[in-house]
Structure 1
């Protein structure tokens, strides 16, 4: 099941350390099959406030996503981002291609 690393970035200081982070992150993704899905685009807000930017990286599965995040190569560059932005980051498992919203209700015992 595809898994995603998602970051909501705010107050980014686009200085030398963030530039270094951006230049180095692709090499950390490759061994884990990670690829950017959303990066650097400005969202069209249709409901509620949204300060900042969204980054979404897809991985083949949650194990690969976790292994990437915990990898020595990524951990070495992580402070370049966390020390120069305010952000929330998470790993989350996606759903199957045939998933329907009602599947959640069945799983939660409401079917």
Structure 2
């Protein structure tokens, strides 16, 4: 079964408050079997302007990735992310 992924692009506008999002989202993601493959780090965007920070999270499958995003725990954390950053999330199924 193909894995599921979150691909996240973020520009943090309030680092102190955004840290609370990271504190809350990590245990939720991990409780759904999510594994952070990329969480920040050096990057270059040679072809188009992008957000400052990039995150890739792997889940056991696409349905689990969706369930995590839709969960009450993650939605509570997401309110903080949305208030203190500009961000885009894509939830995608990997290759079989």
TM range (shorter): 0.7 to 0.9
- Give 1:3 shift: 0.9
Query: How far, CA to CA, are the matches of 2:57 and 2:63 in structure 1?
Result: 14
Shift of the 32–11 alpha-carbon distance from structure 1 to 2, 3 Å rule, reads: closer
Normalised TM-score (structure 1) = 0.77
- Residue 15 of structure 2 aligns to a residue in which SS? coil
Q: For residue 61 of structure 2, what is the aligned residue in structure 1?
A: 61
Contact 2:34 / 2:60 at 8 angstroms: preserved in 1? yes
Shift of the 11–28 alpha-carbon distance from structure 1 to 2, 3 Å rule, reads: closer
Normalised TM-score (structure 2) = 0.88
- Give 1:42 shift: 2.2
Q: For residue 36 of structure 1, what is the aligned residue in structure 2?
A: 36
Q: Relative contact order, CA 8 A, sep 6+: which one is greater?
A: 2
Query: How far, CA to CA, are the matches of 1:79 and 1:44 in structure 2?
Result: 28
How do 1:76-87 and structure 2 match up within 5 A? 76-87=76-87
List gaps (5 residues or longer) in structure 2. Answer: none
Larger Rg: 1 or 2?
Answer: 1
- Residue 48 of structure 1 aligns to a residue in which SS? coil
- Give 1:32 shift: 1.1
* Residue deviations 1:12-62 (CA, integer Å, cap 9, x gap): 3212x21111112121012211010110112134x3134311111100101
